[in-house]
Amino acid sequence: MKRYFMLLPLLLCSVALSAQTSMREIWLSMPDSMIPYLNKNLRLEHVELLEMKVESKVRNLLGGEGKMDTLTSDYMQIHLNGAADMQLRLLPKNDSLQMICMVKTVRAQQPESEIRFFDLNWNPINDLFGLPLAEKSDSIIASFFLPNDTISMERVQEMQRSINPVMFNDSLLPDAPELILQLSPSLKTVKEAADVKAVLRQKKYKWDGKLFKEC
């Protein structure tokens, strides 16, 4: 009996670990309404092709073609079509649960990303977990600029004021629970693009189990 009680915690721990959800399960359990032109059968086809180590190109219900690049236990990246990409990451929480982070980027004239969070049943979580995306204030915009000696502060401030609309081009890192955030400004001339590139910086945020913190 004593030996049984000593083994019980180990058994419970083993069960908890085996119960951890994989990204494969998350991808296949996604409601069809999330990507109406890519139903479960087509999502499974992507996975099976990738698992066979062949190019994971699949024709969707609209006739376009998508390609899955990466699928690990906690991360996935797919090119949904010629104009949209999606990344998913399973994030561990301090309460031993997990949640889903989704980054979807539409690539039009300028890329624009949307970051959303869900529980493991794909119920939306209305929280940004510390990411500076809700308040697109002057101070938030200014924090993405790093002035240098080649461009005056007045010119930098002029560029900051000219960013309208405020859009972000974001990405999840494939090998760490981290997000890269960067502004995606709409620029009119080659000179503007060169000036902004010289002073615009990206910001990295790392998940700590509760919040994303800049690192």
Write 185-188 long-range contacts (CB < 8 A, 24+): 185/110, 185/159, 186/109, 186/110
pTM, 2 dp:
0.85
pLDDT in tens, 66-97: 999 999 999 999 999 999 999 999 999 987 79
Q: List the chain residues with pLDDT less than 50.
A: 1-19
Angle formed at CA 93 by CA 16 and CA 88, multiple of 5 degrees: 95
pLDDT of residue 165: 83
The amino acid at residue 181 is L
Please give the pLDDT value at position 20.
67
Characterize 91-104 residue by residue with b for buried, 16 or more Cβ atoms within 10 angstroms of its Cβ, and e for exposed.
beeeeeeebbbbbb
**Calpha distance 8→155 (Å, rounded):** 66
The whole-number pLDDT of residue 4 equals 42
* pLDDT tens-digit series, residues 145-163: 888 888 888 888 888 888 8
Per-residue pLDDT at 188? 65
